[in-house]
Amino acid sequence: MSKPSKEKAVCKTCQLMEPGIVRNGRNIFYCMHPEAKTECLAHRIITRSRESEIPTKTAPKWCPLNQKEG
């Protein structure tokens, strides 16, 4: 079992982040982590943006990579 790092996860560099494109030109960025599911969605939405790059600087509160064990 690996020890959790003290650095916070960043969605821009995360391998589990996947962009999706919607008809009206907005990009939706999804978290593909298996623990990030909700009751309604198979993959949780991180953010929506008109840009092709994710605008968030850090991961959201619910990010499973930032959850403390214990």
Residue 49: count of CB within 10 angstroms of its CB: 15
pLDDT tops 70 at residue 55 = yes
What beta strand segments (E) does 1-70 contain?
A: 17-21, 27-31, 44-49
Cα of first residue to Cα of last residue in the chain, in angstroms, is 13
pLDDT of residue 26: 83
Q: Over the stretch 7-46, which tens digit does the pLDDT of each residue have?
A: 677 888 888 888 887 778 788 888 898 888 888 888 888 8
> What is d(CA 57, CA 32) in angstroms, rounded to the nearest whole number?
18
Predicted pLDDT of residue 53: 81
- What's the helix, strand, coil split of the chain in %, to 5? 15, 25, 65
Position 6 scores a pLDDT of: 60
At residue 19, the pLDDT reads: 86
